[in-house]
């Protein structure tokens, strides 16, 4: 009789426990479903936010969603549509605004050539087009930020070339007013690019600002205005490059600027503009050197490969530009003078970099190689015949000795390469011109140096093996 109540209690406990388990399972299921829905909603909101910020594709509410436990899977077709989304949402915008601005520029030029409208009306219409693009960019910024950024870039480029044309070609405004307007456009473009936080704005505005004046006129007679205009844009781009860590901006500015300067030098340079060209050439050079070293100086970051390349390209561009500016007739004497001065300049830069940037070994070696190459070219331009051969041999000997004393491999390698180049020059070019005595002297000297170099390397290799065996 006492057993039945106990059994009944046990059964009731199991029943209640089973019901509680079911209740808890249902609750867990409901909470899981809520979490799943919340995850879905969060992903949709994040996708919509990304769309507003950058124009990237989002998950549409009508997109089919597959649920497996607590995971969300979208159709794989979205991956296949990524190329289409890139073209439709980004590439078309970029190409469209560039084509539009180019069309406006060509239209202005056509109106100028055909005298269809007055000069004042040409400028007014161009400004009107820029204002229209600017207003549209403001209205669309909230929902379509990327598209708004593209429109803004086009408007700034339009304002740039219109102001430039109004001042340079029509004299509608005094220099001070034109300069202030250009400065205002540059500052505002930099601020807007930082606000949008998109490098594309600055790049598009930069390309438009650099290139559009060429769609209007070559402007060869007012070069100081054109290069002042380019310098103003460069300052804005270099500042933006440093402020937002958009290193590509400064590198693109450097490449475009030197292409414009060297292209002008090849096709439209006038020796009467030598001093103007010299000033702008040096200002551009040091501006881009500062740009390349900005992060190294301010943040103590090591130079990246691209920054090292920027410095080397900047050095090369300065040399080419100097050849054009100071040697317009391309005579050998002019080549020698410019090359010699550039050698001294780069040798000084190499010494300074060794002292100030002691950890930047790659940069130091590349600048030293540039200086060495310029020294070899200077000898070739300044002298001829046997003198060139003997001086190249002397340089090779000094390099080899320097490499031994300082235990540096690259000078020794440079010495060997220079000896090889001297020997090739002797065999290919000088054999037909040298007298028998000169040939004998040259071959004996080079042969002795090669044997001495070989002996040194054998000795060096043996000493290294002995050190390894001792360990």
pTM: 0.62
Whether residue 419 contacts residue 456, with contact meaning beta carbons closer than 8 Å, is answered with no
Phi-psi region of 171 (alpha: psi -120 to 50; beta: other; left: phi over 0): left
Query: What is the pLDDT, as a whole number, of residue 78?
Result: 46
- The Cα 84–Cα 179 span in angstroms is 43
- SS3 (DSSP) at 328: coil
What would the two tokens of residue 189 be?
């473009």
Instruction: Give me the helix-helix angle, 119-140 and 92-114, nearest 10°.
Output: 170
Residues 6+ apart with CB under 8 A from 15: none
Query: What is the pLDDT, as a whole number, of residue 12?
Result: 56
- The Cα 99–Cα 93 span in angstroms is 10
Query: What is the pLDDT, as a whole number, of residue 414?
Result: 83
Query: What is the pLDDT, as a whole number, of residue 91?
Result: 60
Task: Give the residue from 315, 283, 295 showing the smallest Cα distance to 357.
Answer: 295
- The Cα 109–Cα 218 span in angstroms is 12
Residue 412 Cα distances to 87, 105, 353, 374, 442, angstroms: 53, 56, 21, 18, 21
Query: What is the pLDDT, as a whole number, of residue 283?
Result: 96
Task: Give the residue from 284, 192, 200 showing the smallest Cα distance to 235.
Answer: 284
Residue 367 Cα distances to 36, 292, 370, 405, 412, angstroms: 60, 14, 5, 20, 16
Query: What is the pLDDT, as a whole number, of residue 208?
Result: 60
What would the two tokens of residue 405 be?
């004393």
Query: What is the pLDDT, as a whole number, of residue 201?
Result: 66
Residue 377 Cα distances to 121, 184, 315, 411, 418, angstroms: 55, 46, 15, 17, 12
Query: What is the pLDDT, as a whole number, of residue 433?
Result: 72
- SS3 (DSSP) at 66: strand
Q: What is the chain's pLDDT, residue by residue, as a tens digit (471 residues)?
A: 433 444 345 445 444 655 666 676 677 767 776 676 677 667 777 766 665 555 444 444 444 433 344 444 444 444 445 665 555 555 665 566 667 666 766 776 676 667 667 778 878 888 888 888 888 888 877 777 777 877 787 788 778 778 877 877 777 888 778 777 877 887 787 777 777 777 766 676 666 667 655 544 444 467 888 888 889 888 888 888 888 888 888 898 999 899 989 988 888 888 888 899 999 999 999 999 999 998 888 877 788 888 999 999 999 999 999 999 887 555 556 788 899 999 999 999 999 988 888 888 899 999 999 999 999 999 988 888 778 888 888 888 888 888 877 777 778 788 878 877 877 777 777 766 767 777 777 777 777 776 776 667 666 665 655 555 555
DSSP letters, 86-151, are: HIIIIIHHHHHHHHHHHHHHHHHHHHHHHT-S-HHHHHHHHHHHHHHHHHHHHHHTTT-HHHHHHH
- SS3 (DSSP) at 384: coil
Helix (H) or strand (E) holding 387: helix 386-405
- The Cα 194–Cα 186 span in angstroms is 12
């Amino acid at each position: 009789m006492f057993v039945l109540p106990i059994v009944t209690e046990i059964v009731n406990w199991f029943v209640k426990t089973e019901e509680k388990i079911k209740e808890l399972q249902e609750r867990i299921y409901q909470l899981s479903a809520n979490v799943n829905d919340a995850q879905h909603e969060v992903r949709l909101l994040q996708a919509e936010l990304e769309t507003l910020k950058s124009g990237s594709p989002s998950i549409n509410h009508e997109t089919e969603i597959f649920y497996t436990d607590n995971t969300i899977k979208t159709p794989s077709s979205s991956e296949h549509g990524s190329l289409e989304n890139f073209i439709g949402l980004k590439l078309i915008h970029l190409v469209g605004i560039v084509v539009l601005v180019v069309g406006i520029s060509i239209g202005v030029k056509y109106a100028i050539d055909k005298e269809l409208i007055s000069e004042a009306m040409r400028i007014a219409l161009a400004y009107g087009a820029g204002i229209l693009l600017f207003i549209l960019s403001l209205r669309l910024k909230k929902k379509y930020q990327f598209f708004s950024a593209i429109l803004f870039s086009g408007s700034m480029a339009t304002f740039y070339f219109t102001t430039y044309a109004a001042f340079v070609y029509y004299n509608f405004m005094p220099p001070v007013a034109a300069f202030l307007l250009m400065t205002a456009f540059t500052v505002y473009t930099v601020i807007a690019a930082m606000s949008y936080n998109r490098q594309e704005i600055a790049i598009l505005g930069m390309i438009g600002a650099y290139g559009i004046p060429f769609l209007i006129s070559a402007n060869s007679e007012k070069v100081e205005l054109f290069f002042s205009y380019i310098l103003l844009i460069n300052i804005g781009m270099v500042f933006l490059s440093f402020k937002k860590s958009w290193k590509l901006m400064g590198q693109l500015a450097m490449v475009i600027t030197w292409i414009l300067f060297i292209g002008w030098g090849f096709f439209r340079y006038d020796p009467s503009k030598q001093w103007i060209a010299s000033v702008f050439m040096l200002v551009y050079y040091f501006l881009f050197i500062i740009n390349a070293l900005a992060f190294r100086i301010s943040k103590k970051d090591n130079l990246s490969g691209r920054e090292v390349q920027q410095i080397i390209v900047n050095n090369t561009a300065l040399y080419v530009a100097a050849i054009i500016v100071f040697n317009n007739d391309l005579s050998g004497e002019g080549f020698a003078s410019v090359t010699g001065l550039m050698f001294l300049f780069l040798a000084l830069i190499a010494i300074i970099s060794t002292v100030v940037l002691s950890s930047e070994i790659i940069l130091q070696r590349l600048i030293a190689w540039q200086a060495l190459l310029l020294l070899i070219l200077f000898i070739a331009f300044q002298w001829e015949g046997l003198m060139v051969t003997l001086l190249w041999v002397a340089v090779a000997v000094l390099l080899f000795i320097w490499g031994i004393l300082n235990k540096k491999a690259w000078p020794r390698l440079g010495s060997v390469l220079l000896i090889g180049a001297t020997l090739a020059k002797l065999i290919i070019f000088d054999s037909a011109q040298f007298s028998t005595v000169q040939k004998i002297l040259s071959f004996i000297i080079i042969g002795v140096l090669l044997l001495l170099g070989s002996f040194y390397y054998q000795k060096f290799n043996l000493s290294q093996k002995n050190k390894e065996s001792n360990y």
